[in-house]
Amino acid sequence: MPEQVAALDGVRVLDLGRVLSGPFCGRILADLGAEVIKIEPPTGDDGRHFGPFYDGTSSYHRLLNRNKFGITLDLKSDEGRQTLTELVRRSDVLIENFRPGVIDRLGFSPARLLEINPRLVAVSISGYGRTGPLSDQPAYDLIVQAMSGLMSVTGPDGGPPARLGASIGDIVPGMYAATAVLAALHQRTRSGRGQHIDVAMFDGLLSILESVAMRALLTDEPIAPTGSHHAISAPFGTFATSDQPIAIAVANDPLFAAFASALGHPEWTDDARFRTDAERGRNRHELQKELEAALTGWTRDGAIAALSAAGVPCGPVLDVRESLRHPQVSARGMVRTEADGFPTLDNGFRMVGSREGGTAAPALGQHNDLVAGWTGEPVRTEGRRENADV
């Protein structure tokens, strides 16, 4: 059987990303088989200092930088900038998420990068993008969650705004950047030219507000946190049982009929307050009272069994450790163990051409001895492309 070829085999990526959004984009491309060269200052990426630590190394950094080569360059020096220039000439993609203006001041503006290599796909991730009144302002996940309106609809029902528990303000633009890079590489096969991609954390969070934003654009209704419940459909949230809470998602009328019957309350479908999804959404607090009164006679697992048999989407409310130990996680291989025993998360897709296993994140400057080969004559290491025409 022929050896499987990685999806992005032959694609070289220069990853100048820092901490999360840039490195996450680079890791997606690395997991797809690209040759990703992580470029850090001599002091290292700030992410190397984030815990928890495993054998003295940052688990945070390791999660985001597996399957990459690692070198150090002082881009404030002439030598460092010259080395980067030569790498740009011989690469396909460059990722950066410096503070606004830094990459330009270093002499690598988008225009300059495309002058060095017209086939380069360069992607910049910043708080607000390269245009607009906030374009020169730095941002972090917390700031864009607050500015985008996401926090205003997150938190207890009717309560104050709250930050989402994961750094989605960095993760979403990292995913958008990877998607755009893949599209730009495909476009390059027809046009012969690269381009600069401008990704804003703020834009990314605005773009995923889906029904929340549509309600704000098209109605005058108040938009506020609804806890774990959907603001439009019901029952669509978490509900108390006799022992532990259950998550239930019902978003259409036939499913509600099956749901009511499974719990022994078919009369709910004849109640004017609950007859349609729109009515149930408007009367979700009343429905919650009725539902939780009914669920006092059910354990969580008993209710899940009955509802699942009726085809109703439902599940337990697990904490993170319970989720990571779930048999579904094991079956999908979502927790992987690297060669030295380090437990980490796999990527969120399964496809022919992505890397299984892979290599651990590089130590600081681990592959500095390969730079001469990357910028000069072709050399090969572990079967990966070390130099190629662009």
Is it true that domain 12-208+340-385 has CATH number 3.40.50.10540?
yes
DSSP 354: S
Nearest of 357, 353, 345, 53 to residue 171 by alpha carbon: 345
Task: Indicate left, alpha or beta for 242 from its phi (over 0: left) and psi (-120 to 50: alpha).
Answer: alpha
Bond from prior residue into 42 cis (ω within 30 degrees of 0) = no
Q: Tell me the C-alpha distance between 175 and 16, whole Å.
A: 16
Both structure tokens of 89: 């000439």
Nearest of 353, 350, 357 to residue 6 by alpha carbon: 353
DSSP H helices in the chain: 21-31, 59-64, 78-89, 102-105, 110-116, 141-148, 168-191, 201-207, 210-218, 253-262, 277-282, 284-295, 300-309, 320-324, 327-332, 371-375
All CATH 3.40.50.10540 domain ranges in the chain, comma separated: 12-208+340-385
- Predicted local confidence at residue 352, as pLDDT: 87
Q: Tell me the C-alpha distance between 374 and 335, whole Å.
A: 33
| Residue 230 falls in the annotated catalytic set | yes
Which pTM does this prediction carry? 0.91
Tens of pLDDT, residue by residue over 309-331, are 999 999 999 999 999 999 999 99
Chain Cα centroid distance, residue 341: 25
How is 235-267 classified by DSSP, letter by letter? SEEEE--SSS-EEEE--SHHHHHHHHHHTT-GG
- Predicted local confidence at residue 385, as pLDDT: 40
- Tell the CATH topology of 236-317: formyl-coa transferase, domain 3 (3.30.1540)
Nearest of 149, 38, 57, 47 to residue 95 by alpha carbon: 38
Torsion from C-alpha of 349, 355, 358, 362, nearest 10 degrees: -80
Both structure tokens of 380: 């090969």
Residues 6+ positions from 158 with CB-CB distance below 8 Å: 224, 225, 226
CA-to-CA dists, residue 287 to 240, 308, 373, angstroms: 13, 20, 67
CA–CA–CA angle 373, 22, 333 (5° rounding)? 90
Burial of 345 (0-12, 13-18, 19+ CB in 10 A): exposed
Q: Tell me the C-alpha distance between 249 and 304, whole Å.
A: 12
Q: Tokens 């998360």 map to which residue?
A: 345
Q: Which of 49, 61, 196, 230 is catalytic?
A: 230
Q: Tell me the C-alpha distance between 379 and 388, whole Å.
A: 10
| Three-state secondary structure string covering 98-152 | CCCCHHHHCCCCHHHHHHHCCCCEEEEEECCCCCCCCCCCCCCHHHHHHHHCCHH
All CATH 3.30.1540.10 domain ranges in the chain, comma separated: 236-317
Q: Extract the residue ranges of the chain whose pLDDT is less than 50.
A: 1, 377-390
Tell me which amino acid residue 342 is.
F
- Predicted local confidence at residue 389, as pLDDT: 33
- Predicted local confidence at residue 207, as pLDDT: 97
